[in-house]
């Protein structure tokens, strides 16, 4: 193998490990809770949002929120069963906010995930979700797939 190619590989791997180390940090969310109503339009390719116009009135840049035929508290309990380290906060209007830090498998990047569960009657609720990467310009679809996987697991959890 030519020396230049070897040097390039060593430098590239060193950079990847450095980025991975820099992306470390707490796996518990810090700071203020996210306000879904304050989310604005954004062209960032390292995030994913599922919402409704009522929950996210300042942006139309989202996929439709998932709807569940269970009360909000039951859905929130299912989230906590799936993500035990998540923090939960109940709001005076009945909304339930949940947040956690997801860690990617290979590079160990920390991604922030915020959920808002809104009651839509006695036996139904809507799940708004916002997942975003802390570093980088692209997540290669990871945030959207994370939300999709969570919704699928929740559908299975509340069905049985």
Report the CATH number at residue 50: 3.30.310.80
Q: Is the pLDDT of residue 10 over 80?
A: no
* Per-residue tokens: 113: 């995930």
What is the number of domains present in the chain? 1
Confidence of residue 19 (pLDDT cuts 50, 70, 90): low
Confidence of residue 18 (pLDDT cuts 50, 70, 90): very low
Task: Give dist(CA 40, CA 30) in Å, integer.
Answer: 21
In terms of residue numbers, what domain contains 56? Answer: 3-159
- According to DSSP, the β-strands at 63-64 and 66-68 are unpaired
Confidence of residue 1 (pLDDT cuts 50, 70, 90): low
Q: Is the pLDDT of residue 44 over 80?
A: no
What does the pLDDT look like over 54-103, one tens digit per residue? Answer: 999 988 889 999 999 999 999 999 999 999 999 999 999 999 999 999 98
Whether this prediction's pTM lies above 0.85 is answered by: no
User: pLDDT value at position 141?
Assistant: 82
Contacts of 46 (CB under 8 A, 6+ apart): 132, 133, 136, 137, 138, 139, 143
Contacts of 99 (CB under 8 A, 6+ apart): 29, 33, 34, 86, 87, 112, 113, 114, 115
Q: Is the pLDDT of residue 17 over 60?
A: no
Find the mean pLDDT for residues 15-30.
56
* Cβ-contact 52, 64 below 8 angstroms: yes
């Amino acid at each position: 193998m030519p020396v230049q190619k070897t040097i390039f590989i060593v430098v590239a791997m060193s950079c990847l490990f450095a980025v991975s180390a820099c992306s470390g940090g707490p796996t518990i969310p810090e700071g203020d809770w996210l306000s879904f109503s304050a989310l604005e339009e954004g062209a960032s390719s390292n995030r994913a949002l599922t919402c409704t116009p009522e929950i996210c009135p300042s942006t139309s840049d989202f996929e439709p929120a998932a709807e569940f035929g269970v009360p909000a508290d039951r859905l929130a309990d299912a989230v906590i069963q799936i993500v035990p380290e998540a923090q939960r906060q109940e709001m005076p209007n009945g909304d339930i906010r949940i947040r956690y830090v997801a860690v990617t498998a290979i590079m160990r990047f920390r991604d922030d995930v915020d959920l808002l569960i809104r009651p839509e009657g006695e036996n139904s609720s809507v799940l708004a979700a916002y997942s975003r990467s802390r570093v980088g310009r692209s997540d290669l679809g990871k945030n959207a797939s994370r939300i999709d996987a969570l919704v699928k697991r929740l559908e299975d959890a509340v069905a049985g």
